[in-house]
Amino acid sequence: MLITQGAEINAKADEGQTPLHHAAWQNATETAQLLLTQGAEINAKNDKGLTPLHDAARMDATATAELLLKQGAEVNAESDEGLTPLHIATEHNAIETAELLNRYGGRE
């Protein structure tokens, strides 16, 4: 993987997405774990202020959301529009992830 070749773990692509954002969006839990182990910023914000947890919430990527929460992701991080991951999950009918966020103290 490029990480072992010295690639920037928190490099931002289009719209400020980091590799961890992409892993969360795709529910790639093992990739997310690897990125976190290598020092990925768990609460990195993209150009709209969304964190990887927001992306996991939108995609109902419950396994990755749980990993992020267990590793210390901010459950109530707010986007530039004031949206929390729970708000995003509810808006996108991501029921399983919304329930998980509630258990971790998420608020809308």
Q: List the domain boundaries for the chain.
A: 15-34+42-103
Q: Is the pLDDT of residue 2 over 90?
A: no
State the Cα–Cα distance between residues 85 and 83, nearest whole angstrom: 7
Q: What pLDDT, in 10s, does the model give residues 53-101?
A: 999 999 999 999 999 999 999 999 999 999 999 999 999 999 999 999 9
The per-residue pLDDT for 6 is: 57
The per-residue pLDDT for 5 is: 52
Q: Is the pLDDT of residue 12 over 90?
A: no
* 9 contacts 21 by C-beta, under 8 angstroms: no
0.85 cut: is pTM over it? yes
Q: What is the DSSP letter of 15?
A: G
Q: Say which CATH superfamily domain 15-34+42-103 falls into.
A: Ankyrin repeat-containing domain (1.25.40.20)
State the Cα–Cα distance between residues 19 and 17, nearest whole angstrom: 7
